[in-house]
Chain A
Amino acid sequence: MAILSFSELEKKCTDENKPIYEIALEEETVLSGDIADVIRLRVLEDLLAMKDAVKHGLTSEEKAISGWCGDDCVKLVKKFAERPSLFGKIFEKITMYALATAEENLRMGRIVACPTAGSCGIVPSVIIAAAEERKIPEVQQVNGLLTAGMIGLIVSNKVQLAGAVAGCQAECGVASAMAAAALVQMLGGNTGEILNAAALALKNILGLTCDPVCGLVEVPCIKRNAFLAVHAVTAAELALCGVESKIPIDEIVDTLKITGQLMSPLLKETSLGGLAKTKTALELERILHSKNDKA
């Protein structure tokens, strides 16, 4: 029987005295017919692909087809080497890795959709940066990614994870909740802390719209990956200190869904409103179309 809510998940974890990632493995075993080790291996493949994307993205300055974006990560790499970030090494790595992955995506590099391609930098940046700085072994990184997957899966049972359906709250927002949960898992938090971290992350991005310029996964999507990766860390830190979300996560997910329904279609991946209709965006659109016609 599928787990359709976080309260069911929490109850199962408590009753069976198992962490979320174990439950995730069991559920996937039933669904796919594969043994747990095979599933872990598939998750590891995803993790390694994420690391590859970061590695490529850190050094590339290649622009997207549009010619707008693709050289911001390298700016961070250079500048942080001269002037360390106020927040320290982990912050540097998270922002760099998030941009590296999102830029790799826009230049048609190989990435892992997590949960979507537009939000592909958030979960990897948090997992990989934390693992490197805290020397967290690979097996625990896989546990983190499994935990993230379980969070995303339960949200996706209630609301489709697409900007066109519920705005960016359902893409980068959910990715941030997934990353927060992964981080708490990797830092040794318990089920309650993991769910609180996801709740806090999700609660604080409700209403985020999807208004990409020209309909491309570039502006504002790329930089948003860095912002929501850091957002995930805030949620994880608060949860690990014992801060609890007053509104339970299931109710936050319902709110996300309803907020998505209330959101104007102009702000749901149609590029008919928001940033996509600013003066500058319209000018970029004009230039892009003249480029397109020449191609």
Chain B
Amino acid sequence: MEQKSLFSVISPIMVGPSSSHTAGAVRLGLMARNIYKNDFKKVKFILYNSFATTGFGHGTDKGLLAGVLGYQVDDSAIKNIFDNVKNIQYSYEYTEDISRHPNSVDIIFDDKMTICGDSVGAGEIRINCINGFLANIDGTYDTLLLMYKDRPGMISTVSDIIQKQKVNIASLHCDRDSKGGTASMYVALDIPVGDDVVEKVKQIKDVFFVTNIRKLK
């Protein structure tokens, strides 16, 4: 069992009213922002289940938007976020899907990237899926994400580059749509790697997308 911190019971400092529906929503937004990285013009949120039914009274809509804009969970400005957003088009959709977690959301940037995540309790979150590929990111590790054409040797090529930086890999997850099809890899790291590593990984044959996802504060 992983040992828990004292601050799991006397933190976080956050804006209310709910650690799962407010702080969790902000952190999902922050994580999505870390993944998409680009400035965006448009963002759409699809809220599922309990997020959809009780989100209004918990400020889940405000939290998600504040998160993608880079506000931290304890920022008092979250409450009036709608008054402070300019030049960004944002929208919400509310729906039900019992196959999803009770507190679940899809965050769609510029109609280009869809990031699905859950607020799993006490402000903790999990990103499950990015553009249809399974993910497993909880914001506690700096993570290198890449998408590529599935072929043998990719894991060793990537881990070799990381190993040369003397960075330890905490965990590694791969997924693919079919043998030889499109694949994804998530490499959770003990310390972050620099943009030079991202560049090197980009040079690998058959890799078509690489991003360096920072962990949450």
Contacts and interface: CB of A to CB of B under 8 A. Distances in A.
Interface stretch (A6-14, A27-35, A185-193, A200-208): A27-35
A108 B122 contact: no
Given A31-B3, A105-B16, A295 B56 contact: yes
B10 A107 contact: no
Interface in B1-25: 1, 3-19, 22-23
Given A108-B22, A109-B15, A161 B9 contact: yes
A42 interface: yes
A216 interface: yes
A288 interface: yes
Secondary structure dominating the interface of B: mixed
A291 B59 CA distance: 14
Given A32-B5, A65-B59, A217-B58, A117 B14 contact: yes
Give the bracket for the number of chain B residues in contact with chain A: 35 or more
B62 interface: yes
Interface residues of A, number: 56
A232 interface: no
Provide the main secondary structure of the chain A interface: helix
Interface in A147-195: 148-150, 152-153, 156-157, 160-162, 164, 178
Given A64-B17, A105-B16, A108-B78, A156 B57 contact: no
B16 A145 contact: no
Contacts of A107: 16-17, 79
Interface in A239-295: 271, 288, 291-292, 295
Interface string A1-21: 010000000000000000000
A295 B59 CA distance: 12
Interface stretch (A43-51, A82-90, A92-100): A43-51
Contact of B15 (A64, A108, A216): A108
B16 A111 contact: yes
Given A108-B62, A108-B78, A216-B57, A153 B15 contact: no
Given A66-B57, A113-B12, A117-B18, A215 B50 contact: yes
A106 interface: yes
B53 interface: yes
Contacts of A104: 16
A178 B122 CA distance: 17
B29 interface: no
Contact of B18 (A28, A49, A217): A217
A150 B9 CA distance: 8
Contact of A111 (B9, B13, B50, B78): B13
Contact of B8 (A24, A66, A117, A153): A153
Interface in B46-71: 50, 53-54, 56-59, 62
Contacts of A58: none
Nearest to A1: B3
A146 interface: yes
B10 A156 contact: no
A149 B16 contact: no
B180 interface: no
B17 A105 contact: yes
Contacts of B14: 110-113, 117
A242 to B, nearest CB: 28
Contacts of A39: 6
Nearest to A32: B5
Nearest to A120: B16
26 contacts: A24-B6, A27-B6, A32-B5, A43-B6, A104-B16, A106-B16, A109-B15, A111-B14, A113-B10, A113-B14, A115-B8, A120-B16, A123-B10, A146-B6, A148-B10, A149-B7, A153-B5, A156-B9, A157-B1, A157-B4, A161-B122, A164-B121, A214-B54, A215-B53, A218-B57, A291-B56
